[in-house]
Amino acid sequence: MSLTRRGKAVATLVVLFLLLGIPAAVGVVYLNSIGVTSSSSPGEPVEVEIPEGTTMTEVGEILEAEGVIKSAQGFRFVSFLGGGDEGIQAGTYELSTGLSARDALDRMLEGPEVRFITVTFPEGAWLPEFAERLDEDTSIRGRDFLRVLESGEVKSSILPKDSNNFEGLLFPSTYQVVEEDTAQTLAQRLVDETEKQLAKVDTSRVEAMGYSKYEILNVASMIQAEAGVSRDRGKIARVIYNRLDENIALGIDATVIYALGERKNSLTSSDLEIDSPFNTRKVAGLPPTPIGAPGAEAIEAAAKPVEGPWLYYVLSDCDGKHAFSVDYEDFLADKADYQNLTC
């Protein structure tokens, strides 16, 4: 009589226990306790999500935490001995509590109900960079994504009515893209997430200063691009609002880089002369749109600037920290100090 796959696994473990000097009866009890030899007693339905890149050990830990199996160790045993080490697909599984390790493995090897891939959009990304990431990591074409953003199919309560430019309105984060997703559904999800993030922050103080939620995102996008460390974000926000209040050109290099349309570590004199409404060295006021996708911390800083009289800031060390000043002469001194550093 031939052994079943489960029987072979159990026999292998019993032999192993004997070789180690562990009584077979004790071994069988142990195997039952971790769900290897026990039978399934299906209970409540449970939805289990397996992220991309999850190891078999981590799959077992997820299943144990959800009550699907008794023990992650038992799951690891049966996956190793019973042919499950080829891996489990990422996705969402409809399972039930009370399964044996073997039955759980067999079910998961059938594949998930919902398959997905994970895509990460970095903070500060421009719209074309969102599209490039989709081309690289998903089946959604970047050009289709940009097209739907311009088509009017995607809705936002924040975007000005006379605009269809969604720059800065897509929230940068990690998303799970399922097979059913389209360029339109994904774009709408990213826009909705920005509105959710903005709703978490009390914007009333800045709105009382005369700024709309869209303008707050605009400020947040500059903070995102300029701040090298978290502690500087609130002060950079204050410098921006102080300069706007005094009708002083913002002079933010990140807006010039955005106008150029290419990521640069340094700007030439000719770069700084570019004729663009985004060149805040030459044009006072906010740029026409945000200059990238701000993250949650930048949005919070734009909504809650710290109090202070500063009008200038400049890098002060090689770690991305800034020095802030009220007087132009102090700013020049801080700038000279930075230029004398060897980073």
Sketch the domain layout of the chain as residue ranges. Answer: 5-109, 116-199, 204-339
**What residues pair up with 118 in beta bridges, in sequence order?**
176
Instruction: For residue 174, count other CB atoms closer than 10 A to its CB.
Output: 11
Give the model confidence (pLDDT) of 252-285 as tens digits. Answer: 999 999 999 999 988 999 999 999 999 999 999 9
Amino acid at the residue 92: T
- Cα separation, 174 vs 192, in Å, equals 14
Fold for the domain defined by 5-109 = Dna Ligase; domain 1 (3.30.1490)
Give the model confidence (pLDDT) of 136-181 as tens digits. Answer: 999 999 999 999 999 999 999 999 998 999 999 999 999 989 888 9
Token pair listed for 276: 């663009």
Residues in the chain: 343
Token pair listed for 241: 């609002």
Residues 303, 304, 307, 312: is their CA dihedral positive or negative?
negative
Q: Do residues 302 and 292 touch, judged by C-beta distance below 8 A?
A: no
- At residue 93, the 3 state secondary structure works out as strand
Token pair listed for 248: 């002083």
Give the distance, in angstroms, between the CA of residue 276 and the centroid of all CA atoms in the same chain: 31
For residue 66, the number of C-alpha atoms closer than 13 Å in the C-beta half-sphere is 22
Reply yes or no on whether the pLDDT at 86 is more than 70.
Answer: no
Give the model confidence (pLDDT) of 10-34 as tens digits. Answer: 555 555 554 455 554 455 555 555 5
Q: What is the pTM of this model?
A: 0.74
Helix, strand, coil shares, percent, the chain, to 5: 45, 10, 45
Identify the burial level of 140 via C-beta atoms within 10 angstroms of its C-beta, where 0-12 means exposed, 13-18 middle and 19 or more buried.
Answer: buried
Give the model confidence (pLDDT) of 209-228 as tens digits. Answer: 999 999 999 999 999 999 99
Backbone phi and psi for residue 319, each to the nearest 5 degrees, phi listed first? -100, 5
pLDDT mean over 122-129? 98
